[in-house]
Structure 1
């Protein structure tokens, strides 16, 4: 099975639970960029509750006319400092923050020009941390719909899986920060509990739907065992 999804900024742990059964990951690169989504934001839990971290993009008002792989990050705003300080404040006392911190910080300070490239670097790091050695590829054209069984002749799929046919599951826009404001579809993470509760830094109670960073910094190498 190949999962088709947009590329997120530190996505919810539910995405990685979905990837447990996948043989490859196909990233939507040719869609028109969408604002107010996980493409440039993530949710973490702080002492003040759940807080979004948002990456500013250049010409955000025109972003919907730009393809996902071409959208540029706005470094005129000091967002890296704000994000990193917030992560330190939220997770500095978590069991595994210091174990992983340098790897994430190195990516931040490398300052790739494109949001797609930044998110892709973080994705590869997260897959490595969660021990999910999935091959990844990006789309070369936009398609509103994909057939359930994708023929080998399709370049993107062929680069992932060498077999005559392979099932493709379209998970584009499956994860959205606004999912709690509408009636969830039967196959969304809001309906299916894909992440087992784990001890979070701030409580009380378990807050679902957070960035996978929350799980990783809390559980470290055991994080994958909480995905189901």
Structure 2
């Protein structure tokens, strides 16, 4: 590895995640061999709903424990979480300025089954980067390195369990009049609210 940044692969990651990619878009390494950590943005996205902040969580097949590599984590479809997530996105953002503009891009991800979490997240990341018109060089790690040289390691920096120090500039949110501005939500909150101006915001 040389230069660039090292990131985990998130499910519709927060704005801070995409801000780091935009700032270091020459080379982005995506961690594929880490042991899957639970209760992180790897299978969770935070959006603003009519009732405030809402976490959308992808269920993982039983057997994905602390020693399972990220690339081997399988998504569980025992419950119809895709329908729940898509309905939540529709309910939360139908009245936003750009939901209908991007709806057809995101809908297929909630109507087809992808086996591995890594593949699902990667496809969504590539879509979001395309919509943001950010074109980094993406590479997967080939092994796990505890302290990689030459890159900025952000694998454990962005987490729902850690106090967030990311300073987010306010932008208009659908339910801001009810709940105030909620910073650093999923990138979809920014896209559905700001549309083509999202890249400039980042």
TM bucket normalised to smaller: over 0.9
Q: Distance in 2 between matches of 1:114 and 1:5?
A: 18
Match of 1:169 in 2: 152
Establish whether residue 34 from structure 1 lines up as the match of residue 17 from structure 2: no
- 3-state SS of the aligned residue for 2:170? coil
Does the Cα contact within 8 Å between 1:6 and 1:39 map onto a contact in 2? yes
TM-score by length of 1: 0.83
Gaps of 5+ in 2: none
Question: Compared with structure 1, are the counterparts of its residues 140 and 42 closer, same or farther at alpha carbon in structure 2 (3 Å cutoff)?
Answer: same
Displacement, 1:32?
A: 0.7
**Unmatched segments (≥5 aa) in structure 1:** 150-167, 181-189
**Which residue of 1 is the match for residue 75 of structure 2?**
73
The match for 2:165 is 191
Cα deviation 1:70-129 (Å, max 9, x = unaligned): 100001110000000000000011011111111111123231100000000000000011
How do 1:88-99 and structure 2 match up within 5 A?
A: 88-99=90-101
Deviations for 1:146-165, whole angstroms, at most 9, x for unmatched residues? 11x2xxxxxxxxxxxxxxxx
Q: Take 1:145 and 1:111, find their aligned partners in 2: how far apart are those partners?
A: 35
Task: Give SS of 1:8's match.
Answer: coil
TM-score (norm. length: structure 2): 0.94
Once structures 1 and 2 are overlaid, which stretch shifts more, 14-23 or 213-222? Answer: 14-23
Q: Which residue is 1:179 aligned to? A: 162
Where does residue 126 of structure 1 map in the other structure?
128
- Cα separation, partners in 2 of 1:48 and 1:32, compared to 1, 3 Å: same
Higher relative contact order (CA 8 A, sep 6+): 2
Rg (Cα) greater in structure: 1
Counterpart CA distance in 1 for 2:166 and 2:84 is 33
CA RMSD of aligned residues (A): 1.2
Name the CA distance, whole Å, in 1 between partners of 2:69 and 2:110.
22
| Structure 1 position 64, deviation (Å) | 1.6
Deviations 1:17-73 (A, max 9, x none): 11222112100000111110000001001111101000001015x422210011000
